[in-house]
Amino acid sequence: MAVVPRRICLSEEFVLQLHGARDPTATKTRSYYNTVQKLQIAVGEFRGKYAFLNWFKYTLGADQLTAFGEQQMINSGIVFYNRYKALAKQRTPFIRASGQDRVVESARNFSQGFHQAKTADRTPDENYPYSILVIHEGEGYNNTLDHGLCTEFEDPVAYSSISSEVQQTFLATFLPSVIDRLNRDIPSANLTALDIVNLFDLCPFTTVASLSGAVSPFCFLFSLDEWKHYNYYQSLGKYYGYGAGNPLGPTQGVGYVNELIARLTGEAVSDHTTVNHTLDDSNDTFPLGEALYVDISHDNDMTSIFSALGLYNSTGSLSNTSIQSPDAAGGYSAAWTVPFAGRAYFEKMACAGVDEELVRIVVNNRVVPIQRCGADGLGRCTLAKFVQSMDFAIAGGRWDMCFAPK
């Protein structure tokens, strides 16, 4: 676990937080329901590890936080307060959320947790409930917490199909044997590749549908080796969909990185990509000099932001034919970077005996040494060298490729 180094005077702390656990998307929940229905209609009686399907009822909704996800975000607020208590005790965080309901609700739950920890610390909190700046989502809107402005990136023919093509190639390396095994176990089921992926997906979604997070019986349908392949399949989707494996993936995170630079340096935002300057040019909606900042976003957008920061620049192109462990992939894994309620802490600190302020990034309790800025043994760079290393974002990434003439 990454702890705050001793003998440190923390001056500013930021958290970029993924919303809590949710139900599947509307499209996915219909597909999952169809797979369950197909099984239950085709099979008279399930036995062994499949027996739970005899009485299982599909009750998952679509897109909204689960009760488990709400608690995750409350816990995140508590953890943030306790980790940075020296700053948080006398301060209120400035909070932004992208406009989707589950993201806004996650921000409220985070606030509740922060407030709960503060009052438990016997500290008055007259500013609660805290203000939350909600940034609208939608086509054509500038929003650093939600992609959608770069038309070439959003075009399914141009760039957004790259990840699905890579994933399909990888599925062919392991899924046929899984299909054969389950169809031998359940002879009348006639399960397809889509059905098998849906059954994999139902493990996490039905787990987080439980308030306690009780492990779902769907999880026991597959072996440990099969789960390792599925985990890598998900990593490929993020890496080639929104990360460095997509030529325009990191560019979607450039606007947020430029906002981070502004907050760290106390200077106005300089950006021509996704920044909403109506908001960011106002001290009311983008204040500088605050000690605590909280931003709530989506997993895809956080993947792009991490890539724009260059956090996983040592990760080579992920293979689409064989598994690479997170260690072999330079610390990259979707499970390590963007699990439900995943978070990144950006720490600005002043240390005794060091003339310059330092910057450190912690992703889900793992210190990720910042590339190209001479990070020390604790993963910290000087603020000046950190800013210099952000030349990709400062230059706007590949924003010029976003609006190719038709």
Planar angle of CA 41, 42, 46, nearest 5 degrees: 95
Q: Determine the distance from the C-alpha atom of residue 227 to the mean position of all C-alpha atoms in its chain, rounded to a whole number.
A: 20
Q: Which of 19, 147, 229, 298 is catalytic?
A: 19
| CA 67/CA 276 separation, integer angstroms | 32
- Dist. CA 93–CA 86, nearest whole Å: 13
* Residue 34 dihedral angles phi and psi, to the nearest 5°: -65, -40
* Residue 223 and residue 231 in contact, taking contact as beta carbons nearer than 8 Å: no
Sequence-distant contacts of 123-129: CB under 8 A, at least 24 apart: 123/89, 123/90, 125/92, 127/92, 128/92
Active site residue 19: yes
Mapped onto helix, strand or coil, the DSSP state of residue 272 is coil
Amino acid identity of 350? A
State how far the alpha carbon of 342 is from the alpha carbons of 87, 166, 175, 275, in Å.
Answer: 22, 25, 28, 23
What burial class does residue 25 get, using C-beta atoms within 10 Å of its C-beta: 0-12 exposed, 13-18 middle, 19+ buried?
A: exposed
End-to-end CA distance of the chain: 50
Q: 309 vs 87, 249, 275, CA distance in Å?
A: 25, 12, 16
Catalytic center residues = 19
